Amino acid sequence: MDKKQKNNMEYLEKRHEELKSKTYALEDLAFGTIQWRWNVCGNPKCKCKKGEKHGPQPYLAFSSKKEKKMMSIYLPKDEVSEIEKRLENFQNLRDELEELLVLELRERQKKGK
């Protein structure tokens, strides 16, 4: 986007409406990171107790403000690509919310002049 477009009120209004009209379903979003870990199971006779850990296994890790700690959830390997897409959707939502706010501030500034 060039400077002319950024300052074009018509473009700003159109983009503002476009961003406002976008919706995301909560089930299509996730936040955090996917981590791959080597694990030890609870079986005392397992090879992992001798140092040959299981894995790597995927986990969705995130920081919970409510729980005030880092949390993680095991992900079956066949769900990793779905969660990666949900993480990407969440980042896109954040980016678009930020853009929406910037556009609203620009509109207010232009109207105030």
pLDDT digits (tens, 9 = 90+) for 40-58: 988 999 999 888 999 999 9
DSSP annotation of 108 reads H
pLDDT digits (tens, 9 = 90+) for 81-107: 999 999 999 999 999 989 989 988 988
The pTM of this model reads: 0.71
Residue 106 CB neighbours (<10 A): 15
